[in-house]
Amino acid sequence: MNSKHNMLIPVLRKFVDNFLEESLETRVSVILSLSNFLKETKFQKIFVESEGVFKLTEFLDWGFDSYSLLVENQNRQIINGLLTLCQRLASNESYRSSLIAAKSHEKLFKMLYVPDVDILKGALYCLISLAEGTASKLVLAETCHVNQVLHIIEHYDPLSRKLAASVLRLLSGCQNVQDLVILFNGIPVLLSQFEGENYRLQWHIAWSLAQLAMEPKLRTQIYRKGGLPILLGVLRLDHSIKMIKIPEKLKKEAVTPVSKNEHICSTLTSSEEQLASLLALKAEMLCISAICATLTELTYDDQLSCKLAQEEAVYLLIQHVVPPSGDILPDLTDEPQAVQEAFSNLQLLALRAMRFLFSLERNRRWFHRLFPPAIFETFISVNHYKRDLSLYRCCVDRLNNITAEELKTVSLAVDNLNKQRCPLFKVGGYLVLDLLGSGAFGSVFKVQPSEESTASYLAVKEVSLHHPWLGRALTENSASVGEIVSEVNIAREQLRHPNIVQYQKVFIENEKLYIVMDLIEGLSLNEVINSMKEKEETFLEERIWKVLIQLIQGLHYLHVDKHVIHRDLTPNNILLGDRDRLTITDFGLARRKFSRESNVTSVVGTMLYCCPEIVQHKPYGERADIWSLGCVIYLLCTLHPPFWSQNLLALASKIVKGQYDPISSSQFCDKLVNIIESCLIVDSDRRPDISTVASLAASQLVATIDTLSTEQRILERKLQLEKEKRKSLKDKVKKQVPLNFPQSHPTDSFPLNKHAKAGSSFSLSLSPRKLQETKDPVLPLFQQLHKLIYISQLPPPETPCHHRWMLQVYTRMLFANNLGTLYLKTEMSKLMHLSKENIQLKTCPKYKEQIELFSPLEEDSVITTTYEELHHMIEALLLETEYYQC
């Protein structure tokens, strides 16, 4: 060891003391021998203790700065060698902190812009090793060049893409990286990687998405950018994995992945091919597992959970959980352990995703008789929304010991699940697609107007005329049915408000009453509250106000403008859609529900939100709805209703006495507590009307109106621009129309076929309304650059100006490295988007004199600022000039 140690010392000296002064050949040989030494931990220690890390970082910086000058092959060799040294140290937990302290990660991120794939990969390997450390990961996340990482994932060669995706996977659990993915609109880039079957790349991407989906905003983005069908599409691929017999000697090698990615094939000839297939099978299972993890995170959003279930997620997931048997999945017991583990992990992750879906009440019907009772018991014994995978082991073990009889039941249920995608039945010319929920009077279904129709989906409420709650059994021609129909018709004709459901039609068929209305894509407030309880979450006060304001708006419209009482305002009849847009439903039947004739005494639930006057069968007015409003807002604050008892009489007594636990004013503001208390005043004469409630919430209402009018103005402006664009496009297209174009052609349609002649039988036409001018994404970047150059062309200030100095240094930096247009693009993008990332501005000796004109600073000044600050400096300086006037 001593002799080897003695050999290291002179090499280390050369590296630390005068590396850059040595000849190219010596530098190469120093690097080569150092990289040999650093394979051993003991020499790594000596290297770090001799300030090797700081020198290494300095040389990386030199490598980056002089990259464009590096024409000789040896120079590339030196940079690659430096990156190897860096990677050797980065893979050792003990030295990651030294590399971070020396800021080597900043240099490594800069190297991602170098147009040399070898150097790029070297830098990516180093970053991966650094990101594997818990502490170093956090620092890396703070400085990560997410835009460039996304760019590599989108455009580079397969290996670079995979490495960049690996960096993202390791960092995407960190808040800053999540913010940057939002800023740089990264979700579409990630989703686009699911084209094709590159499972190894997709594994990294899916795990990145799984972590990004923990952030609610990114969950919504994944949905809005079409993520659900894309992710489910991967589960939907034909994964009919066939049995492959692998020779013993090859099984041992199957532990490490390979880069090939062939499809599984049962007619393989050579054992190498079999091994490759086995590894591909493992990669495929790992990728699907990661997608299951992403789906699990998405189900945290109730709306997405509901949509996933509707898009067959349960059907697709169960196929990855059912144990190896017969022709469903291969028997892997003879296969290498790595493959068995991958399969077992897939089962756990797929089952967990199913359990998360099951946690939402509305989704439970998809699980109806899916599992035999004994298995279902273990399935539900895992509580709602539990991430810990070990909790699912028991259920997977039980599934792996499924009996032949039980397996038959599961297969049958899976088949049925598949069939549920077909329309359930037809009624009144509507195709009934899906059950949305059931209530006291009947059920609500999602329907499609007709097979050919492209009109949007609607909801239909089905009520049996023999329902006991409607009083005596009714007939089609009875007066009561006529009354209901006319009430619904009045609601249809008279009620038009964004917070009130729009009825379309009412009709009777097969002794059932059908009320057709707009479909609200969302969940009832009751479902939202139940799901929050399961997740052990509570409503933020801001969200409660949002619901309250919309309820006030809806009720104000009903009471003041239309003189209509709802009578049955319960969390079941309040639907929350995208961004908590609220809709009140269920008009017309409530009167019957609370009439003396009806048999409501059997269900306590219907009385929870009833005011004392209805409970006592006294005359009531619009203030009955105010009481219910108070109950609903109380429920949002505490997640339980103000009045509760299993005994109907006890409940009635509590309501009549107004006995409820007060809301703690330490948790909610006095104003909110005051509104709830006023709504729950027993004496209806003293209870406020809706206008008074609105005045109690006046400041929140004004703020909402402000936001709405701003949004409206933006929308109007957008519409106007859109209109102008369309008009100019139409004019342009018109100009291009050939003169001999047939006059009879519709005015808004033009042939695109240049061979089209008057009277010719074939021409392709396209409505200009369908043509849209696309925004040029580069223009804003140019504009940003233009601003910088404009400032740099201004005459020097009379007195030194520090901001001018900083901008001058920054502009010089942009071009000094000659790093190409992509580097420039990323920098401009960060400036435009006010990135909070730090940037160091240092005086380059070459331009020192010129720059000193702006600020007489000391030699080699280095100033740290952020892109956001630079952006503000630019705008402030431009305002002092005539820039915006021109």
Ligand X SMILES: Nc1ncnc2c1ncn2[C@@H]1O[C@H](COP(=O)(O)OP(=O)(O)OP(=O)(O)O)[C@@H](O)[C@H]1O
Q: Which is nearer to ligand X, 61 or 518 (CB)?
A: 518
Among 436, 529, 756, 819, binds ligand X (CB under 6 A): 436
Do residues 375 and 401 touch, judged by C-beta distance below 8 A?
Answer: no
Shortest approach of ligand X to residue 581 CB, angstroms?
12
Do residues 294 and 351 touch, judged by C-beta distance below 8 A?
Answer: no
Q: Which is nearer to ligand X, 22 or 518 (CB)?
A: 518
Q: Using CA atoms, how far apart are residues 610 and 567, in angstroms rounded to an integer?
A: 8
Among 106, 297, 487, 586, binds ligand X (CB under 6 A): 586
User: Candidates 302-310, 418-426, 435-443, 836-844 — which segment interacts with ligand X by CB under 6 A?
Assistant: 435-443
Amino acid identity at 385? Y
The residue written with tokens 């609601």 in the block is 491
Q: Which is nearer to ligand X, 110 or 593 (CB)?
A: 593
What residue is closest to ligand X based on CB?
Answer: 439
Assigned token pair, 359: 């946690």
Shortest approach of ligand X to residue 286 CB, angstroms?
38
User: How many CB atoms are located within 10 Å of the residue 148 CB?
Assistant: 21
573 touches ligand X by CB under 6 A: yes
Shortest approach of ligand X to residue 103 CB, angstroms?
55
Using the CB atoms, write b or e for 855-886: b if 16+ within 10 Å: bebeeeeeeeeebebbbebbeebeeeeebeee
441 touches ligand X by CB under 6 A: yes
Q: Using CA atoms, how far apart are residues 391 and 352, in angstroms rounded to an integer?
A: 9
Q: Which is nearer to ligand X, 77 or 443 (CB)?
A: 443
Binding mask 553-572 for ligand X (x = CB under 6 A): ---------------x---x
Q: At what angle do helices 73-90 and 24-37 cross, to 10 degrees?
A: 20
Containing 427, the helix (H) or strand (E) segment is strand 425-427
Q: Which of 337, 336, 370 is nearest to 351 (CA)?
A: 370
Shortest approach of ligand X to residue 573 CB, angstroms?
5
Q: Which is nearer to ligand X, 137 or 592 (CB)?
A: 592
Shortest approach of ligand X to residue 527 CB, angstroms?
6
Q: Which is nearer to ligand X, 449 or 780 (CB)?
A: 449
Among 173, 439, 751, 768, binds ligand X (CB under 6 A): 439
Shortest approach of ligand X to residue 90 CB, angstroms?
53
Q: Which is nearer to ligand X, 212 or 607 (CB)?
A: 607
Q: What is the pairing mode between strands 750-751 and 765-766? A: antiparallel
517 touches ligand X by CB under 6 A: yes
Q: Using CA atoms, how far apart are residues 851 and 678, in angstroms rounded to an integer?
A: 68
Shortest approach of ligand X to residue 449 CB, angstroms?
15
829 touches ligand X by CB under 6 A: no
519 touches ligand X by CB under 6 A: yes
Is 461 labeled as ligand-binding? yes
Q: Which is nearer to ligand X, 257 or 471 (CB)?
A: 471
Q: Is 568 among the catalytic positions?
A: yes
How many residues in total does the chain contain? 886
Torsion of CA 312, 318, 324, 328, to 10 degrees: -30
Residues in 292-311 that interact with ligand X by CB under 6 A: none
Do residues 462 and 507 touch, judged by C-beta distance below 8 A?
Answer: no
Shortest approach of ligand X to residue 575 CB, angstroms?
6
**Count, residues near ligand X per rule CB under 6 A:** 23
3-state secondary structure at position 424:
coil
Shortest approach of ligand X to residue 603 CB, angstroms?
9
Among 227, 437, 641, 768, binds ligand X (CB under 6 A): 437
3-state secondary structure at position 221:
helix
Q: Which is nearer to ligand X, 81 or 442 (CB)?
A: 442
DSSP 631: H
Among 166, 221, 359, 585, binds ligand X (CB under 6 A): 585
Using the CB atoms, write b or e for 337-367: b if 16+ within 10 Å: ebbeebbbbbbbbbbbbbbbbbbbbbbeebb
Q: Using CA atoms, how far apart are residues 242 and 265, in angstroms rounded to an integer?
A: 7
By CB atoms closer than 10 A (0-12, 13-18, 19+), residue 380 is middle
Residues in 706-745 that interact with ligand X by CB under 6 A: none
CA angle, 365 then 349 then 288, to 5°: 100
Helices (H) and strands (E) in the chain, counts: 39, 13
User: How many CB atoms are located within 10 Å of the residue 730 CB?
Assistant: 17
Of 301, 302, 434, 568, the active-site residue reads: 568
User: Candidates 181-189, 383-391, 441-449, 833-841 — which segment interacts with ligand X by CB under 6 A?
Assistant: 441-449
Shortest approach of ligand X to residue 430 CB, angstroms?
14
Containing 804, the helix (H) or strand (E) segment is helix 802-816
Shortest approach of ligand X to residue 436 CB, angstroms?
4
Shortest approach of ligand X to residue 561 CB, angstroms?
21
The residue written with tokens 């005011």 in the block is 611
Contacts of 102 (CB under 8 A, 6+ apart): 53, 54, 56, 57
Among 100, 153, 410, 501, binds ligand X (CB under 6 A): 501
User: Candidates 11-19, 82-90, 439-447, 615-623 — which segment interacts with ligand X by CB under 6 A?
Assistant: 439-447
Residues in 442-471 that interact with ligand X by CB under 6 A: 442-444, 459, 461
User: Candidates 35-43, 371-379, 518-526, 859-867 — which segment interacts with ligand X by CB under 6 A?
Assistant: 518-526
Residues in 16-75 that interact with ligand X by CB under 6 A: none
User: How many CB atoms are located within 10 Å of the residue 537 CB?
Assistant: 12
643 touches ligand X by CB under 6 A: no
Between the two ends of the chain, the Cα-to-Cα distance in Å is 74
Q: Using CA atoms, how far apart are residues 640 and 629, in angstroms rounded to an integer?
A: 14
Q: Which is nearer to ligand X, 367 or 441 (CB)?
A: 441
Q: Using CA atoms, how far apart are residues 432 and 424, in angstroms rounded to an integer?
A: 6
Phi/psi-derived region of residue 540, left when phi > 0, alpha when psi is between -120 and 50, beta in every other case: beta
641 touches ligand X by CB under 6 A: no
Q: Which is nearer to ligand X, 577 or 780 (CB)?
A: 577
433 touches ligand X by CB under 6 A: no
432 touches ligand X by CB under 6 A: no
Q: Using CA atoms, how far apart are residues 840 and 278, in angstroms rounded to an integer?
A: 49
Do residues 830 and 863 touch, judged by C-beta distance below 8 A?
Answer: no
> Among positive and negative, which fits the CA dihedral 74, 76, 82, 86?
negative
Three-state SS annotation for 118-129: HHHHHHHHHHHH
Among 448, 524, 530, 843, binds ligand X (CB under 6 A): 524
User: How many CB atoms are located within 10 Å of the residue 616 CB?
Assistant: 12
Q: Using CA atoms, how far apart are residues 164 and 160, in angstroms rounded to an integer?
A: 6
Q: Which is nearer to ligand X, 106 or 487 (CB)?
A: 487
Annotated binding site: 461
Catalytic machinery residues = 568
* Binding-site entries for ATP: 461
The footprint of ligand X (CB under 6 A) covers 436-444, 459, 461, 501, 517-520, 524, 568, 572-573, 575, 585-586
